[in-house]
Amino acid sequence: MRQILLTTLALTVVSGAAAQSRAGWPTVLNIGIIPTEGSSASDERYAPLFTYLKNTLGVEVKSYVGADYAAVILAMQGKKIDMAYFGPKSYIEAADRAGAQALVRENALKGGTGYHSVIVVRADSPVKTMAQLKGMDFAFVDPNSTSGYLVPMSHFLLDLKVKPETYFKRVIFAGTHENVILGVKNGTIPVGATNDLDLARAVEGGALKASDLRIIWTSKEIPASTLSVRRDLPETFKKALSDALVKFKDPKGLENLQLKGYVVTTDQDYDPIRKLNEVTKAAAK
């Protein structure tokens, strides 16, 4: 009887400790996704990762695809989502406005833990250099996009010493990287900004062939997109989530995302983007 009582007591202590370690954990992990493609395509792309997180953490996982970058930031600010996929510029905005904390960043099949902004035209376009863009229509992605706005904008303002609103005939925001890529492919957008990772994903998904477009400018390396959480979540949950993401090795899931996996990152890794954002804002005045 004494042994039974001791065993029961031990199990109670272990159970209590386990419950305490999960104190404050969300029962549903709501994840926001940056709008690089359509909602249904995003759900399919992330399904293996979300299923893995559900099974590993023992919480339900739901996705939220925002209408634009600002919508995802606002959703975190309003605590409607717990974690989100942010590009570097949208991350620094989310850190300032929504208390976002970077946990991991992508380690891509091409580019590793960094990627590049690119400016693209159709393969049959006569445009071959940046100097030939003057007077054309130009498409950025979104004001909160790093590769689709901040980095090419900084190139125009700081390197070429031109302001897009006067250099181009018309400047538009296409909304997503997919819209820029397909717009250029289909001829509705003469030239646009995107990134090499989303180009690779579009080719992998069959949306276009690599030979359909020509890259006329490539940026220096940009720190890869991050999966970030609300800073006010329990430290035990953030640690468990970070560990789970780093250990995600599902071949199909990684193929969907065109990744080798995720690596631990910190807020300080995005300081170069903060500085670039400040300099670009000053040059635009």
User: What's the pLDDT at 36?
Assistant: 64
The H or E element that residue 29 is part of is: strand 28-33
Which has the closest alpha carbon to 225: 142, 98, 114, 144?
Answer: 114
pLDDT at position 239 is 97
User: Is residue 227 within 8 Å of residue 262, measured between CB atoms?
Assistant: yes
**Cα distance between the two ends of the chain:** 81
Sequence letter at residue 91: Y
Structure-derived torsion over alpha carbons of residues 132, 213, 116, 139, reported in degrees to the nearest 10: 60
Confidence at residue 110, expressed as pLDDT on a 0 to 100 scale = 78
Of 34, 37, 39, 32, give the one whose Cα is nearest residue 62. Answer: 32
Q: Which amino acid is at 74?
A: L
Per-residue tens of pLDDT for the chain, all 285 residues = 555 544 444 344 333 434 458 999 999 999 999 766 555 667 788 999 999 999 999 999 999 988 888 999 999 999 999 999 999 999 999 999 999 999 999 998 877 898 999 999 999 999 999 999 999 999 999 998 999 999 999 999 999 999 999 999 999 999 999 999 999 999 999 999 999 989 988 998 899 999 999 999 999 999 999 999 999 999 999 999 999 999 999 999 999 888 999 999 999 999 999 999 998 988 887
Give the other-Cβ count within 10 Å of 267's Cβ. 16
pLDDT of residue 21: 83
Which letter, b or e, does each residue of 231-255 get, where b requires 16 or more Cβ atoms within 10 Å of its Cβ? eebeeebbebbbebbeebeeeebbe
For residue 216, the tally of other CB atoms under 10 A from its CB is 17
Report the alpha-carbon distance of residue 198 to residue 216 in Å, rounded.
Answer: 16
Q: In the prediction, which pLDDT does 201 show?
A: 86
Per-residue pLDDT at 3: 55
**Residue 67: its pLDDT value, please?**
86
The distance from CA 189 to its chain's CA centroid, rounded to whole angstroms, is 23
Token pair of 40, please?
A: 């249904």
The helix/strand/coil state of 189 is coil
pTM of the model: 0.80
DSSP per residue, 228-262: EEETTS-HHHHHHHHHHHHT---HHHHHHHTEEEE
Q: What is the reported pLDDT for 275?
A: 92
CB 184 within 8 A of CB 125: no
Helices 177-186 and 196-204: crossing angle in degrees, nearest 10, is: 70
Task: Domains for the chain: give ranges and CATH numbers.
Answer: 2-110+223-269 (3.40.190.10), 117-220 (3.40.190.10)
* DSSP H/E element including 88: helix 88-98
Q: What is the pLDDT of residue 14?
A: 34
Residue 25 phi/psi, 5-degree rounding, is -65, 145
Structure tokens at 115: 């990627």
